[in-house]
């Protein structure tokens, strides 16, 4: 078996730390997760984590960005397949994600992280920057597909995107407290107002 090059070794270490970070953050939450535990699970020392990510905060940011890219790609594909307003609304419904156990645990960890960085602008800014980039990308997607499908939004799409982001995270946390909450209906009611069906003549 051929030996890995230095670059390949670094990539492998990077990926193993990301995988271990996701696992530990899901299992322990953001606040309880430690650099030592993550590094140990990946099979490295804490020095490797600091070298690749600068610490727990940098690792978290890298994982969040990767998750966000994946989510945006999946949503973009779903919107590409939409042939009607109902298809578009279904693609935007976060209830499928909310009902997923892993996503719900991740939302709880993300809430811990948000609380931890509140009041610390240097730590909060990378997260705020990522959120702005995601909002801009989703607004562009919705603008494209609403135009393609002849949908006339009742509110500016940039504002709707902010509401949808807050709604998805909020519903996930609400489901942790009360699994009986019908998140699908809540979302459908909101989207019915924001993206009304065309009135037939």
Domain with 20 in it: what CATH number? 1.10.10.60
- For the chain, how many structural domains are there in total? 2
Co-location of 68 and 50 in the same domain: no
Nearest to 12 by CA among 72, 52, 70, 58: 52
Co-location of 128 and 105 in the same domain: yes
Co-location of 75 and 119 in the same domain: yes
Q: Quick one: DSSP state of residue 94?
A: T
Co-location of 156 and 93 in the same domain: yes
pLDDT at 6 over 90: no
Distance of CA 82 to the CA centre of its chain: 22
Average pLDDT of the chain is 89
pLDDT band at 92 (very low <50, low <70, confident <90, very high): confident
- Contact (CB, 8 A) for 172 and 98: yes
Q: Please give the helix or strand (H or E) that residue 65 lies within, else none.
A: helix 56-81
Co-location of 152 and 82 in the same domain: yes
Co-location of 72 and 171 in the same domain: yes
Co-location of 91 and 123 in the same domain: yes
**Maximal CA-CA distance, the chain:** 70
Co-location of 43 and 131 in the same domain: no
Co-location of 79 and 147 in the same domain: yes
Co-location of 67 and 159 in the same domain: yes
Co-location of 87 and 121 in the same domain: yes
pLDDT band at 87 (very low <50, low <70, confident <90, very high): very high
pLDDT at 201 over 50: no
Please indicate, yes or no, if residue 201 is contained in any of the structural domains. Answer: no
How many Å apart are CA 128 and CA 132, to the nearest integer? 6
With a CB cutoff of 8 Å and minimum separation 6, the contacts of 99 are 175, 183
> How far, CA to CA in Å, does 30 sit from each of 12, 21, 116, 170?
23, 10, 9, 18
Which of these three, 54, 73, 94, is where a domain ends?
54
- Structural domain including 15 reads 1-54
Please indicate, yes or no, if residue 200 is contained in any of the structural domains. Answer: no
């Amino acid at each position: 078996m051929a030996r890995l090059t230095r670059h390949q070794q670094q990539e492998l270490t990077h990926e193993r730390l990301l995988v271990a970070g996701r696992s530990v953050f899901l299992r322990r939450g953001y606040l309880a997760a430690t650099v030592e535990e993550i590094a140990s699970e990946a099979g490295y020392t804490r020095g490797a984590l600091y070298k690749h990510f600068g610490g727990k905060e940098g690792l978290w940011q890298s994982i969040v960005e990767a998750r966000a890219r994946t989510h945006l790609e999946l949503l973009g594909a779903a919107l590409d397949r939409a042939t009607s307003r109902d298809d578009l609304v279904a693609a935007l419904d976060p209830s499928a994600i909310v009902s997923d156990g892993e996503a719900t645990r991740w939302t709880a960890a993300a809430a811990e992280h948000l609380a931890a960085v509140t009041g610390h602008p240097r730590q909060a800014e990378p997260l705020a920057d990522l959120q702005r980039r995601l909002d801009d990308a989703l607004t562009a997607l919705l603008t494209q597909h609403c135009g393609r499908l002849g949908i006339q939004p009742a509110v500016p799409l940039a504002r709707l995107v902010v509401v949808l982001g807050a709604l998805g995270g909020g519903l996930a946390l609400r489901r942790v407290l009360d699994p009986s909450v019908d998140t699908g209906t809540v979302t459908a009611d909101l989207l019915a107002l924001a993206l009304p069906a065309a009135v037939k003549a």
